[in-house]
Every structure is written in C-alpha cells, then in structure tokens.
A and B are shown apart, each in its own frame.
Chain A
Amino acid sequence: MARFKKDKKRELPALGTGSMADIVFMFLFFFMVISNMRETDVKVKFIVPGASEIQKLEKKSLVATIYMGMPKSENENTLPPGKVSVQLNDQTIKQENFVRDVRDFIAVEKESRSDEDRQKLTFSIKADQDIQMRYINLIKNELRTNNALKINYATTKRERKQAESKE
C-alpha cells in the first residue's frame, strides 16, 4: 500500500506557457486566411432567401455588392419614404438620385478593375426576401442599361426540398 503514497516533497512542474503563443498565432493566421475584412458597414436589414442550387463566387475582389432592405435607422435614405433602401458602397441612396448614383457606382466599380477582371466583375444583389420585385427590377434595369450583365442573387444554402410526385 505504501507504494501508492504520494511523495509530498515533489513539486508540480509549472505549466509551460511558451507554446501557448504559438498555438494562438496559428489560430490567428487561420482566421486571417479564411475570413475577409468587412469593408463596409451595412445600413440596411436583410435576410437573404435560401436556395439549393447555388454557386460560390470565386473571388471576393471581383464582386460588387448592392444591398437592399429595410433601413436600420430613420436617417437613412429610402426609395419611397418608409420603404426599401438601397445601399451602394457606404451610403443609402436617395430616390431622386437613383439613376445617377447607380450609374456612377457601376462606372467606379468597373473603372477600378483591370480590363481582364472587368469581364468577370459580378454584381451581387443582397436583398431581403420580403421586398417586392419592383425594387429588384429597378436595379436590374439599371444594371442592364449600364452594361453590367453578370449578376448574382445572394442566397443562403439550404437542402433540396423533396419534389412532390405528380399524380
């Protein structure tokens, strides 16, 4: 029995903290690689619809995002008063400047890319699932007239629903 008696004199070795920094740095680099910086603050509330047949957009740098949804605060501009607001870059746009602002936004986004990337530039529409198509159609119409034809409807991933068999 004496064999199991603990040796009181032996000291517990201190926990080595040196490698902790390495582990945390590893985490840090991992996060830096998989994430992308949030460069704009979003001023509209939106829940994008779910879809099953989705594709990932290849490169973040080749995507320009248009946000549409209900404004988060009362100070934001909306298209008709109290309705949907459209955010390009950092600002929500005013209804009376709609055509001009969208045109400028598309021009700036195209201008800032090289010729090769310009072909691949995608305009991603991140819009709330409950808004009416009239607002989406307005944007689509502007994109089309300004020759920005590659678009994407941002969605979240969901599983395929079972199709109902035809009787």
Chain B
Amino acid sequence: MSNRKLAGFNTAQMADISFLLLTFFMMTSSINVQQGIPRRLPPPSDSKTVVDINKRNVFTVVVNFNDEIFANQEIIPLNQLTLRAKEFLENPYNSPNLPEKEIKLIENLGEYSVSKGVLSLSNDQSTSYNMYVQVQNELQRAVNELRDKVSMQFFGKKYDLLDTALQRAIQRAVPMNISEAPPTNFGKE
C-alpha cells in the first residue's frame, strides 16, 4: 500500500482559471490615478466682505470670452503668464508698483519678507474650461517655481523632496493667494 503512487494534482487547468480571473479583474478595474489641480473655494457668505487691498498688491488676470488673457489690462500669451506672475510675487528689486512685503518670523526659516501679493482671477461665462485650467496651472506653476527657488536657497533641495514641516514653512514664505472674482457674461452660449 505504501509504495502506491499518489495521484498527481493536475495544475494545468489552474493556470486557465487564474488567467480567467486575471482578465476579469483587468476588465472591471481602472488603473487611472486620480490627479488634478486642487483648489479651495471661499466659504459661503451672504454679506460681501469688502477687503481693502492696495492696488499694487493685486495682479489681475482676466480671461475673456475669446480665451484671451489680460494680465493687468495688458493682453499676453499664455506662456508669459508664469513669468509675469513670478515677477509680481517675487518683486526682486522692491519696486514701488509691485506688491509690498511683510517681514514675518517663520519656523525653520527665520525672518523672511513675505509678499502680500494676491492673484485675482476672473473669467467670462463663455471662457473654455480648458483655458481656465491652463491659467490656474500657470499661476500654480509660478508659485511652485518660487517655492522651489526658496527651498533651494534655504535647504538645497527641491520643495517636493522636503519634509512636511519644512514644506509648511515654505508655504508660509510663499503663500498661494488666488481670489476669484464673479464671472462676467459677455460671450454667447
């Protein structure tokens, strides 16, 4: 009895079954990662809070119904927006018509002069969503590039590679202030 061979378990069909399961999973699932530009909406309020912001501290970006971009009343192509926004936020030579700076004490950075600049964005109801996202993207890029610069200066690393605490310090040094004005309605549907 003991030397009788045990019947071999046939494993060839197992591969078939597992292939079947594999194909099933591949078809029912999606591998696309959720990614995008995160934004925070202002909290709902009935009364309009009028914040008096000095004119030099505001960089207005208007996108009209033809998807043309006006930065401070001047028409510019999309690929110049980042440069303009960077120049505005950074104000390297403390020019009197670019935003004021306020010296703040920031943990891990020490005293840093933080720009008071606000990017004000407004669009038309007929602006395309794509252009809106591109403009948001370019403004985000301006802030990201400035953050990278400050980060290189202080820590010798890119912003993305820093610890959360240090990232927060840089966020305070280079804040992202975008305010959205109510849309205009000049274009056709």
Contact = CB atoms under 8 A, between A and B. Distances in A.
B137 interface: yes
A131 B28 contact: no
B88 to A, nearest CB: 13
Interface stretch (A2-10, A103-111, A147-155): A147-155
Interface centre among B11, B37, B126, B144 (most CB of A within 10 A): B37
A32 B23 CA distance: 11
A18 interface: yes
B15 A21 contact: yes
A165 B79 CA distance: 9
B41 A143 contact: yes
Contacts of A149: 40-43
Contacts, number: 174
Interface in A116-167: 122, 124, 127-134, 136-137, 140, 143-145, 147-157, 160-166
Given A53-B140, A53-B144, A162-B79, A144 B129 contact: no
Q: How large is the interface on B (under 10, 10 to 19, 20 to 34, 35 or more residues)?
A: 35 or more
A130 B130 contact: yes
Q: What does DSSP make chain A's interface, helix, strand, loop or mixed?
A: mixed
B37 A155 contact: yes
A130 B15 contact: no
Contact of B130 (A49, A56, A157, A161): A49
B80 A17 contact: no
Contact of B133 (A83, A129, A164): A129
